[in-house]
Amino acid sequence: MTKLLTIHDKLEWIAYVRRAAEFDFYHTWNYHTLETGGTPALFVYEEQDDFIAFPMLKRAIPGSDYSDLTSVYGYSGPFSNKKMDVLDDSLMENFKQAFLSYLSDEKYVSVFSRMHPFYKQQLLLGKFGGVYDNGRTVVIDLAESLDEQRKKYRQSTMDSVKHAWKMGFYIKDDKKPESVAVFRNIYAETMKRVGASDYYLFDEDYFNRILNTQEYDARVLTVYHDDKPACSTIITFTNGIIQAHLLGTATAYLHHSPAKFLADEISIMGRALGMRYYNLGGGVGFKEDALFKWKQGFSELCFDYKSWRYIANPAIYQELLDEKELDKNADIDFFPLYRYA
């Protein structure tokens, strides 16, 4: 049996996520309500007590009768009531046929989904083809003791943490309006400084909505020095995983590296909350750049980050490329290519 849930099916969407063996806050109904890049939907395939669900965003393709599917910002992909590596092969094959029928019936040209580095979703999506290696994400294993964790820090990372201790840095953890406003200001300053695109310029409503939900534990953590905010983050604790969703550092405190102190403190908090992993993320565009190396100052443990890039209707995909005079084999890391530029 298949069904398609929309954002109006709140309780049913939440119920499927709660039944999932593996999920993150990126899969939740609340997080999907924040997206403006498409219309959220949850495709569900069920056999008796087992299910596979796939949250997506539907987008119309301008100038055509067709649409495509993409995923939310972050790590999503399909989820199930069983872990991906123990799903019956017959269930996965039947899901594949049901999903292909859905793509055909609804006139979808392509599907793009960011995959979760902690879950083996490639075992399912690999049956379609189109699984791509995008890079690596840096992870702190919270099953280790704090002492063992710190022994693996790069010397400059540990020096920054000790510097923060000496300076008397401390953290506030609350969701009061004034704390959200502090985060908003620091984050906006950071995005302006790094030249981020408009996509990352979230408003205060976004921050309040991501924080105020019962589906996962989201917090604002802010580093202070002499009652002045130095660094702030919105962070989530979901199903054993910590995600540093958004982070900003005040320009005046960059030379103190308060984000390193913050990451160390979050790892302590995560252990107290029973978390298993702290995902620091990857580099810009998941390249092994300066940001990636900065994160590796905490841990050499890395998980592979993959995406799914599937062409459901090759003929129409090619027509859309031809309209823009784009070569399907061009050396451009962008999917679907007809949305490039």
Binned at pLDDT 50, 70 and 90, residue 331 comes out as confident
Fold for 2-136+305-339, please state it: Aminopeptidase (3.40.630)
Q: Where are the domains positioned within the chain?
A: 2-136+305-339, 144-275
- For residue 263, what pLDDT is reported? 97
pLDDT at 333 over 90: no
- CB of 141 closer than 8 Å to CB of 242: no
What does pLDDT average to over the chain? Answer: 95
pLDDT 10s digits, 70-109: 999 999 999 999 999 999 999 999 999 999 999 999 999 9
The pTM assigned to this predicted structure is 0.94
Q: Which CATH class is domain 144-275?
A: alpha beta
Token pair 């005079």: residue? 325
Confidence of residue 301 (pLDDT cuts 50, 70, 90): very high
Using CA atoms, how far apart are residues 129 and 297, in angstroms rounded to an integer? Answer: 35
Provide φ and ψ at 59, rounded to 5°: -130, 130
- Per residue in 15-34, pLDDT (tens digit) is 999 999 999 999 999 999 99
Long-range contacts of residues 329-335, Cβ cutoff 8 Å, at least 24 apart: 335/110, 335/112, 335/307, 335/309
Q: Which of 8-22, 252-266, 287-301 has the lowest mean pLDDT?
A: 287-301
Domain 144-275 in the same topology as domain 2-136+305-339: yes
Tens of pLDDT, residue by residue over 122-165, are: 999 999 999 999 999 999 999 999 999 999 999 999 999 999 99
DSSP string, 245-265: EEEEE-GGGGGG-HHHHHHHH
Contact 303, 117 (CB under 8 A): yes
